[in-house]
Structure formats: C-alpha cells, structure tokens
Chains A and B, each alone.
Chain A
C-alpha cells in the first residue's frame, strides 16, 4: 500500500492541486483516462464541500490518497477530511434538476456528483469535522 497525505490551505482553487495529485497517483496505477477524470472531478467536489461548508477554524483540508492491492494495485481510496462544524448526511435532501430550476438556490450537487462518479462513498460527520472516504477500482 502506498499512502500520501496533503494538507491544503482553504484558498480558492486548492481543489485543483488535490486533483493533480489524484491524477498522478491514478496514472501510476494505470487507471484508464476516463476513470482518472472521474476521480479528479470527485476530488474537486469533496474539496469544494470542505472549503465552502466546513467553517473550520483550522483553515486546512487534509486529503489522503491510498493505493490498495499490493503489487498490482486495484483500488484508489481517497479521504478528504476537514475539522469544521460537520453536518448530518442523512438530512441532506438529494437535489433534482426540476427543483433546482424553480429554486433560487441552484447549488448543493457535490455529494450527488461524488456518489455518481466513484465506486464507493462513505461520509462521516460530527462536531469534530467531516470525512469523505471514496474509492475507485482501477
């Protein structure tokens, strides 16, 4: 297993730095270009969620990349963790385009996109922050 952790400051476009690391690691696993793009997009969304919603005093997001599967790695697991105020994942209503077109608030798509692009997604959130763990098979 290989493991890399980035501590990223909460500044605009820090999500791009995280996505570049995701791309480099996924390429090293020989993941297909389309799947790498999906991982990059999911990382961008998870980082933006942390940036926008965590209200963390630490002003940092921690992104950990783990390559699982020994000599022939099969899975990339990415953990995005903030130390913000947290939320209740079960209380988040799934967005729909019909509702969003009528609503003044068009945002709130991040988790839906992450779940649609990654193979497995787990969200843990509480008073000490939020952790999104997402995996993609090679």
Chain B
C-alpha cells in the first residue's frame, strides 16, 4: 500500500493510502467513540500534510454508533472549513441508511465503491 500506515485501537484498524491529490482512509471494525477519534486523528494529520480530499472507505466496518458518527461530523465540518471534500464509500446498507437518516449525505457524498468515489472526488 503506497504511503500507507496502520494504526489500531481496541476495536478499530485504520489504514491510509496516500495518492496524488487524495487520501483513502480504510477502516476495519467498530466505529465507536474511540474508533471515531482514531479516524479523526488520521484525518487531521492528512489535512496537516496538505490533503484536501479524503475518502473514507468503510468496507471493513459492519457496525457504527452515533457517537462515532458524531466525530465523523466534526471531520466533515473541518473539510468544509478548509474548502476540501470528504466522501464515503463501500458502506453496508444499514450504515448508508443511517447516514441518510442523519443527513450526512448532503455534505459528504456516498459512493457505492472506491473506483466510483475516486473518479468523482479526485481533482
């Protein structure tokens, strides 16, 4: 994985693939408060490195909770603030439905898979 690094909390693995103009963040496991904070830590590091386009590939996450999602909302807020873009891909139907219930898709587009997301998000 080019430019990748792996991090681990008690219940979530986070990996990053840095690409030209875009970074893909892969999650594996439960996105709760700790998991959300780990994703935020990685996202803010990528922003500090200059990335303005982030894709969260949640293909390895089968369950989330609202505390974890509220931390994702903080990342969305940060991306809006810097004029960047954040997208999600490879969500389970229930996570996608939950994001729609909450209205996240209005501010962070949801794509069915990574190729579709990259083609739309990459500058």
Contacts and interface: CB of A to CB of B under 8 A. Distances in A.
Contacts of B90: none
A128 to B, nearest CB: 25
Interface in A91-138: 95-98, 100-101, 106-107, 109-110, 112-113, 116-117
A17 interface: no
B71 A117 contact: no
Interface stretch (A32-40, A56-64, A82-90): A32-40
By DSSP majority rule, is chain A's interface helix, strand, loop, or mixed? helix
A37 B13 CA distance: 21
B120 interface: no
A113 B102 CA distance: 7
B94 A113 contact: no
Contacts of B69: 109
Chain A interface: which size bin?
A: 20 to 34
Contacts of B32: 12-13
B94 to A, nearest CB: 4
B97 A109 contact: no
Most buried by B among A44, A52, A96: A44
Contacts of A95: 102
Contact of A48 (B66, B71, B77, B93): B66
Given A15-B65, A45-B66, A109-B102, A37 B73 contact: no
A25 interface: no
Interface stretch (B19-27, B45-53, B103-111): B103-111
Interface string B77-108: 10010000000000011100110011110110
Interface of A: 12-13, 15-16, 19, 34, 37-38, 40-41, 44-45, 48, 52, 95-98, 100-101, 106-107, 109-110, 112-113, 116-117
Given A37-B94, A44-B65, 9 more contacts: A13-B11, A37-B62, A38-B94, A38-B97, A45-B66, A97-B106, A101-B80, A116-B97, A117-B101
Q: Which 10 A-B pairs have the closest CB atoms?
A: A97-B103, A116-B101, A106-B70, A37-B94, A109-B66, A107-B70, A106-B73, A34-B93, A38-B94, A44-B65
